[in-house]
Amino acid sequence: MDFYTWNQKFSNLGSNRNDRSLGNSDGFSRDCGNADGVFTKSSQSLVLNEQKGELVKADGKVIGKKIGLKSDEKAMAALKSHSDAERRRRERINAHLHTFRGLVPCTDKMDKATLLAEVIRHVKQLKTDAKEASIGLLIPEDVDELIIEKVNGGLTFRASICCKRRPELLTDLRRALDALKVNIERAELSALGDHMKIVFYFTRTTTATTDEDLVSFVREALNSVIEKAPFSPEYSPRTTLPNKRRRYSL
């Protein structure tokens, strides 16, 4: 196939692009192509070796898999498909960026990088505001937390746990506390998103240990519950992250 044929096909394929890309709407840069079947983009030259039926770089390196002469149209269809897919991907990204502009004030004229920085700043501010507003309320935080303190003039202890929710968490807590022989007087529980906050008040059932020892025992027991590997596969952390992100289709 000569350059003209190749170029004509790309001219047809490129008809749906916006005005800004008209400069190279043939699918190649202006300096590309010659009658010998050499297609160049200023960064590299592609050569169709008709004897071998391979698309190779000008320096002889084979590009990808062997391309059969009869599958030229197939290869171009793949390129077109890929090009369209990339366009749709850019449109998705831009649509979400547009949504960001609607969510964060004064971002109409911002470039994309600045917009993203502004969104980050805005989200951080919202989190700070939410945290301040939730003081005194039982709202789970994003981070794991375990606080044990004396209240009620030292007669009662207050334990506050915040961690990722999992089905067996409450059962594990119950078992851990039963083993410690403490008397639970009151418990409060809340969940937000995938986090859970549990606050309970307990008193000692024996005077055999000091307050410090009791707090230490309770802390150790609760820590073991929080750090326990989840049983359910649904809640299992991934030990190895894939190099590539998982695909999500809407």
**Interaction site with DNA (CB under 7 A):** 10, 14, 17-25, 27-31, 41-44, 46, 55, 63-65, 74, 78-79, 81-83, 85-87, 89-90, 94, 111-114, 242-247
- Kindly state the smallest distance separating residue 46's Cβ from DNA, in Å: 5
CB-nearer residue toward DNA: 15 or 206 = 15
How far is 41 from 44, CA to CA, in rounded Å?
5
- Kindly state the smallest distance separating residue 217's Cβ from DNA, in Å: 44
- Kindly state the smallest distance separating residue 71's Cβ from DNA, in Å: 8
Nearest to 141 by CA among 168, 171, 161: 161
CB-nearer residue toward DNA: 52 or 150 = 52
How far is 90 from 106, CA to CA, in rounded Å?
23
CB-nearer residue toward DNA: 12 or 216 = 12
- How is the beta sheet containing 156-164 ordered, strand by strand? 145-151, 156-164, 195-204, 182-192
Structure tokens at 27: 């699918």
What is the number of alpha carbons within 13 Å of residue 233 lying toward its C-beta? 0
- Kindly state the smallest distance separating residue 4's Cβ from DNA, in Å: 15
Structure tokens at 238: 């991934």
Helix (H, G, I), strand (E, B) or coil at 159: strand
CB-nearer residue toward DNA: 57 or 181 = 57
CB-nearer residue toward DNA: 239 or 243 = 243
Structure tokens at 32: 């590309």
- Kindly state the smallest distance separating residue 40's Cβ from DNA, in Å: 10
